[in-house]
Structure 1
Amino acid sequence: MLWKKESIGKDARLVDFLDSERTHHKHIFSLFDDISESKKVLEKSGKLSTHYRKKAMSQLESKNWHEAIELLNEALCFAENDSQDVGGAYAERSTCFFNLHMYDHCLTDIKLARSSKCPQVVQAKLSKLRESCKKMLKISPNTEAEDDFKPTLSFDASEQCPFVANVVKIEGKEKMGRCITATRDIDVGQAIMVEEGFVWSTTENYRRCCVCLETTNPLVPCKNCTDSLMCFGKCEKNQLHEIECNMGLPTVNGKEVNGKEVNFQLVVRSILMALKTIPNLNELIRFVERIVSAEDNEPINSASTPLSRYAVFLENGLKWQWPKKENKTYIGHIKRIHEAFMDNDDFAELFEDDDHERFLRHLIGHHICALQYATPNVCIGENDGTSVHSIIGRFFFHSCYPNAVLVTSDRSTVAVTIRPIEKGEEVTVSYLPDELNRSTKYRRKWLLVQYNLMCFCSRCTQPATAASNATALSKLQKNELRNASNRDPKKQAKRRNLTVACTKYLNANGREQWCDDIYYMLHAYIQLLCTKYYLNLKH
């Protein structure tokens, strides 16, 4: 259906599938219209803002600073513009930053509180807090800088692609397509890929900046909606959220329509990324047509530039198509997103004629396919509601006995080795959703249903009676591994010790045949890595 034309002529127009479906399924489109009109939007409310500030005070009294900050962020989102609730929430959040030794952030919040309608009694307290901050900054620099963590490659970057280390290479295989192989032996715990996502989204509305996904900067609320915050002085000036906010699409996951998991925010952002990569509409149309018609037969094995990454993204869209029985649902998604774009004057001017509108509808459908091809696949790093769509991450193939794992850190996807890898060996990850210890029969059935994939990894083909020479774990060791899931930022020392134990064990035993003890170690190590990168801490 996508990219079909009305005739075989050179200048034939794209089929307006939206119009043809509307003719046959009027009741479906009226249903979508009803949903759009009845969408409930939470408005700014001083009562709700006060409610969340009270909950935050409870956390402040218990010295749960991070939890208090999240609640105060929610209070800021619901506070009516230019009200005392805004100044009060900033003032209370500044106290949290001070106690976390984040003095620069504390000073920023003091400045924000003073510029808002803040009671005189609070102003006096802020003056004292400001002086304390300045004194602490003279005594010692911000201690949060010591714990601040940004993912980096464990080796020099590859000349082939700056997002991967020079110990691996991207290559094409005739039947399998692109894959990643090691060019030297690699130990456990090495970051071999750090790639900023092609697009990203989050439902952690009161913890992260909705534009860049970072959690380490002071956040300011959107003046229009009640579920978005942006980095002060940086992302608040970015037009991305303004565009999304004015579109008024339903939820991030788009579950309202027949329960289909189409992430509306990712689709919108991927269209915006396409327009940013190729600003000229006619050039964009020609570029997409070349990829769709497979005019460029040369495989793209680097994905190192925005243009080559977008080309790979478009290629992925050719590998997935929604089932015919779901036509109505997916066309409904396209209709919703298309109308949201056309309600914006700038986009209405850009896609000014019917041919351009048809192109936009087909492009939205194609982007949905590219994202669905990945969901919830390896190239979507998901961590507590945050989704990062990685292009190179899709080059890792599946194994039920993986030697690497993909984790997210803000808007980056990081590939970390979890077993020793030998030179020439393919780097693999697991597509299974935390079900590594299930039976071969279960895993194969799940992979076949989800990805039409039959796994022939060493674990799936080894005899069921095969013995492993891996070192057995004691009961005490197994009990210790249960602490790997603890995400308390204060428990870094404990996680560091567990990380050292896991790395040592997996380096020594990671090439042995699969057994329960290896599973316990892999499971714990993956949890430790997820926590490390999710919290952006050293451990």
Structure 2
Amino acid sequence: MENLWKKESNRPKIYVNPFKGIDEEYVEQVFDWLRQPNRRRLRHKIVSQPIPHDRQLRKRKLTAPIEVPHKQRKVAPKHGNERKGFNRKAPPAFSPKLSFARHNQFPDIAKVLDVKHDAKFGRHFIANRNIDVGEIIAVGRPFAEAVVCYSSSKKFYCLTCKKIGTDFIGCDNCADVKFCSKKCRSLNHAHQLECNSIYHRIESLEIKLAIQMVLNAIQGFSNADDLIRYFEKLLANNSLCQNGLILSLTKSSREDNILRAYKAYQCLMNMKSINNLFNSERTKRFLAHLVLHYLAIIPTNVWDSELNDEKNFAMRYIYGAMSLFNHNCAPNAFYSIKDNYGYCLTVRPIKKGEQIFVNYLGDRVEESKANRQSYIKREWGFVCDCERCKPKSRRFDTREMVEDPSWEYINSHFEDYLFPLGSNPRNRLRDECANFLRRHGNNWTKTLDNVIKLFILAITHEKR
């Protein structure tokens, strides 16, 4: 990793060879793997065992569906022909949209946020105005994503839009992928680069994601020299991302990144279109560094999720500016993925100048302080000193919270999130939660945390 983006002293235009010290036995293993016959399959590669949850790859396990007692006390009534199944409309769905105008530099981020940098937090987002609860401050598609099916399934996923279904169409030139429509098939330019390659036989989501990042980055460039000039200009300016070229996210120093990068690099060079594009020593060395750079970004910036709540499909995403949200065990924002769009929703009042925090731990945030601190230190290398982790000098008095009229309503109507989206009972529950969070959101307590969970359900929950 110390040689990343370094050039040879006697040849200033040529990057050093990052794979110089790789063991010959590993090199032979990779080439044996590449020589495997490309079996034509009618469905995606099925991995016999569940994918191991590599601890370095669990960067931001998305908050799992929140467990609330599921005894359905109230059921929205049916009327007229709906009872017979006629004229039944699909229930409304939650669709995240920015609550404010877009940021001038980062289109996935709302204009109410600014980027700041300091020694403790690195680059991060702060509010440039007061932000109310329930505002969506970030929405965007990932720069790259990778999917794997890890158990037997009769369903397929669309390679372009990631929709799950059964009646899908295939690629005209390979049997590795499926699309939900001809439109999605025509829109997927990255597959044209990796079609009929070994890419879809790769079982490592990390390597697949790095390859996909490279394929997305090179689109729009007719030759490698233009790509190199553009990339080096961004590196010199320490740019975060521009035209999909993500650069300055936090990089890990995993010892096996070189080996993974070598495997990803050889897989790319095994693609005819990539081999034709990177056909000189200079361009090949650049590609090797690009792969290594992206692999170093993944462990500390990946979003981890099931694909559209289908447990048979695991998916990992890399976003650009949204990766700058830092962790807090008592966050003021919630982030998740809906229809392949990442979004960030405020769940506590945020004052001007305050940093935006999200929860990296998912369900682990409910564990003991010692377990949380140990996991955070191991995965991301810092010690969390949030209000939930700091030793409390005095016990916060929650009597004012439980005597709040909104709390009384929430406590007696907590199942109203089961009503259809947009219905009056559900809207009332959402509004009462918001009022409670506005009044008491400045101090974290378990009561506040439970209201936040219910507030998120009232906004995002959909019947399955």
Question: Into which bin does the TM-score normalised by the smaller protein fall?
Answer: 0.7 to 0.9
Supply the AA of the counterpart residue of 1:508.
R
Correspondences of 1:67-86 after superposition (within 5 Å): none
RMSD of aligned alpha carbons = 4.0
Out of 457-466 and 367-376, give the one that drifted further: 457-466
Displacement after TM superposition at 1:322 (Å): 1.9
Displacement after TM superposition at 1:450 (Å): 0.9
Displacement after TM superposition at 1:411 (Å): 2.9
State the TM-score, normalizing by the size of structure 1: 0.64
Contact 1:212 1:411 in 2 (8 A): yes
Contact 1:201 1:210 in 2 (8 A): no
Structure-2 separation of matches of 1:527 and 1:227: 37
1:432 to 346, 361, 365: 361
1:364 to 273, 276, 291: 291
Correspondences of 1:83-122 after superposition (within 5 Å): none
3-state SS of 1:436 partner: helix
Query: Partner residue of 1:506?
Result: 437
Structure-1 separation of matches of 2:222 and 2:435: 50
The 3 A distance-change label for structure 1 pair 483 and 490 is: closer
Contact 2:92 2:420 in 1 (8 A): no
2:375 to 443, 446, 468: 446
3-state SS of 1:14 partner: coil
Per residue, is there more helix in 1 or in 2? 1
Structure-1 separation of matches of 2:327 and 2:338: 22
2:237 to 281, 296, 301: 296
Contact 1:29 1:332 in 2 (8 A): no
Per residue, is there more strand in 1 or in 2? 2
Query: Partner residue of 2:248?
Result: 315
Contact 1:381 1:407 in 2 (8 A): no
Query: Partner residue of 1:270?
Result: 213
Structure-2 separation of matches of 1:376 and 1:504: 31
Displacement after TM superposition at 1:156 (Å): 2.7
Correspondences of 1:365-384 after superposition (within 5 Å): 365-376=292-303, 384=309
Displacement after TM superposition at 1:239 (Å): 3.4
Displacement after TM superposition at 1:147 (Å): 3.0
Out of 406-415 and 276-285, give the one that drifted further: 276-285
Contact 1:156 1:165 in 2 (8 A): yes
Query: Partner residue of 2:389?
Result: 460
**Identical positions, percent:** 23
Displacement after TM superposition at 1:452 (Å): 0.8
Gapped runs of 5+ residues in structure 1?
46-100, 102-135, 255-261
Determine whether 1:282 maps to 2:206.
Answer: no
Query: Partner residue of 2:27?
Result: 29
Determine whether 1:191 maps to 2:136.
Answer: yes
Structure-2 separation of matches of 1:41 and 1:507: 58
Correspondences of 1:138-287 after superposition (within 5 Å): 147=92, 150-173=95-118, 175-203=120-148, 206=155, 208-214=157-163, 219-222=168-171, 228-237=177-186, 238-249=188-199, 254=204, 262-276=205-219, 278-287=221-230
Contact 1:436 1:519 in 2 (8 A): no
Contact 2:197 2:270 in 1 (8 A): yes
1:43 to 31, 41, 45: 41
Displacement after TM superposition at 1:249 (Å): 2.5
Higher relative contact order, structure no. (Cα contacts within 8 Å, ≥ 6 residues apart) = 2
Contact 1:213 1:411 in 2 (8 A): yes
Displacement after TM superposition at 1:412 (Å): 2.0
Structure-2 separation of matches of 1:421 and 1:217: 44
Gapped runs of 5+ residues in structure 2?
44-81
Which whole-Å deviations, capped at 9, do the CAs of 1:56-109 have from their partners, x for residues lacking one?
xxxxxxxxxxxxxxxxxxxxxxxxxxxxxxxxxxxxxxxxxxxxx9xxxxxxxx
The 3 A distance-change label for structure 1 pair 392 and 479 is: farther
Contact 2:430 2:458 in 1 (8 A): yes
Structure-1 separation of matches of 2:346 and 2:127: 11
Displacement after TM superposition at 1:275 (Å): 1.0
Structure-2 separation of matches of 1:181 and 1:278: 34
Structure-2 separation of matches of 1:528 and 1:392: 27
Structure-1 separation of matches of 2:144 and 2:223: 20
1:342 to 269, 294, 313: 269
Displacement after TM superposition at 1:210 (Å): 1.2
The 3 A distance-change label for structure 1 pair 374 and 483 is: farther
Structure-1 separation of matches of 2:228 and 2:121: 29
Displacement after TM superposition at 1:501 (Å): 4.8
Structure-2 separation of matches of 1:431 and 1:479: 31
Displacement after TM superposition at 1:271 (Å): 0.8
Determine whether 1:523 maps to 2:453.
Answer: yes
- Give the number of aligned pairs: 408
Structure-2 separation of matches of 1:253 and 1:525: 38
Structure-2 separation of matches of 1:18 and 1:350: 20
Structure-2 separation of matches of 1:505 and 1:221: 51
Out of 521-530 and 459-468, give the one that drifted further: 521-530
Query: Partner residue of 2:330?
Result: 401
The 3 A distance-change label for structure 1 pair 381 and 459 is: farther
The 3 A distance-change label for structure 1 pair 225 and 167 is: same
Displacement after TM superposition at 1:191 (Å): 0.6
